[in-house]
Amino acid sequence: MLAKTGEFYVVYLPFGGVTSLTLGGPSQTYRVSWFDPRNGGALQNGTVTMVNGPGTRSIGSPPGAGDWVAFVRRLGNYPPVIESIDLESDVYAPGSPFALRVFAHDGNGLEDPLTVSVDAHGPGFDETFPAPYRGGELYSLYVQGLPDLASGDWAFDVTVTDGHGATATDSVTISRP
């Protein structure tokens, strides 16, 4: 077992099964998620998704047979994380549409939806656009007819907001000849 008492606990169960865990620290609610070490993929729910500590609590069983890793973490409003912001290469070409990709995730898990918005600032231009969800950690914005990215400095400020109101911000700037 790997643990930071009161924050998170990681337990490897080589044969699956139901298990209990002794949670230390102050009174807290913890999210229980499961990882499949053989096949990888996203965290999954098992038979128990939340437990309250401190004390010894059943974390239930994993979502399937075989070996599993239980990840039990203190429930809190962790802010979203922006992994990267990418501009597509044709954004510099005259007359081309604007395209931007944001890779973001939320530390609270998949149950906490994200919204992503992009503030575009350029010569004589200032507008906010939503970046629709595309799957996984990808949110992308494709705008036909952004004023052909006129010559000058352009800033694209990205704000990611989770369902609890926590935010993360980042930006990318380009200079267009």
Give the end-to-end CA distance of the chain in Å, rounded to a whole number. 56
| Nearest C-alpha neighbor of 156 from the set 114, 125, 133, 115 | 125
Burial label for 88, CB within 10 Å (0-12, 13-18, 19+), is: middle
b/e sequence 10-20, b meaning 16+ C-beta within 10 Å: ebebeebeeee
Tell me the residue range of the domain where 55 lies. 2-74
| 164, pLDDT greater than 80 | no
Question: Is the pTM for the entire model greater than 0.95?
Answer: no
Same domain? 148 vs 65: no
* Least confident range of 25-34, 36-45, 86-95: 86-95
| 147, pLDDT greater than 80 | no
Last residue of a domain, one of 31, 58, 74: 74
What are the residues whose beta carbons fall under 8 Å from the beta carbon of 39, sequence distance 6 or more? none
Q: Give the pair of three-digit tokens for residue 159.
A: 């704000």
Last residue of a domain, one of 13, 39, 74: 74
Same domain? 90 vs 66: no
Among residues of the chain, what percentage have pLDDT more than 70?
A: 87
Number of structural domains in the chain:
2
Give residue 176's pLDDT: 75
Cα 131 to Cα 69, 120, 142, 151, distances in angstroms: 34, 12, 8, 24
The residue-averaged pLDDT of 83-100 equals 71
| 92, pLDDT greater than 60 | no
